[in-house]
Amino acid sequence: MRASLFLLVVAIGATTAELEDSCLACMCYVSSSGCVMPDSVCWNTNWGELCGPWAITKPYWTDADKPGGDYYTCVADWDCNEETVRAYLARYVGNPHASCETYARTHYGGPWGANEDYATDYWHMVKDCLDYGLFTLPPSVE
């Protein structure tokens, strides 16, 4: 009995936070104006290059352990984009009870900018998407 209880406690302690598909879809919706693969997969902003429907950067992809092996190949592929976002968030969101707000803020602000005003603004757009059902699931999660 004690061994079973110990294993249960260990299993619960090892649980990672679960990113819900609706949250992932709304982050995509907000990041690419409707969760679409951009016509030009990458575009430049005043602070760097963003790519794919979740608007990821090369350092973000690197922090996600470089899924797909090549950044530009990955960001042009729906499944690899999703894998990148999930891996990045699994790395930086360790709370097994994390909310969509935590995921969205971390996605947009990174692990050290999640409480910045720009991450708050992003979260409010994701929340509106969730509240009003504005999203459709990306092809990789349907």
Return mean pLDDT, the chain.
Answer: 86
The confidence band for 141, taking pLDDT boundaries of 50, 70 and 90, is low
CB environment 88-113: b (16+ within 10 A), e (fewer)? bbeebbeeeebebbbbbbbbbbbeee
**What gap in Å lies between CA 85 and CA 74, rounded to an integer?**
11
Q: Which domains does the chain have, with CATH numbers?
A: 20-133 (1.10.530.10)
**What gap in Å lies between CA 71 and CA 57, rounded to an integer?**
9
Task: Summarize pLDDT for 31-54 with one digit per residue, the tens.
Answer: 998 999 999 999 999 989 999 999
Task: Summarize pLDDT for 5-25 with one digit per residue, the tens.
Answer: 333 333 333 444 578 999 999
**What gap in Å lies between CA 48 and CA 126, rounded to an integer?**
22
Between residues 17 and 111, the one the model is more confident about: 111
- pTM assigned to the model: 0.83
- Residue 54: predicted pLDDT: 97
DSSP H or E segment with residue 50: strand 48-51
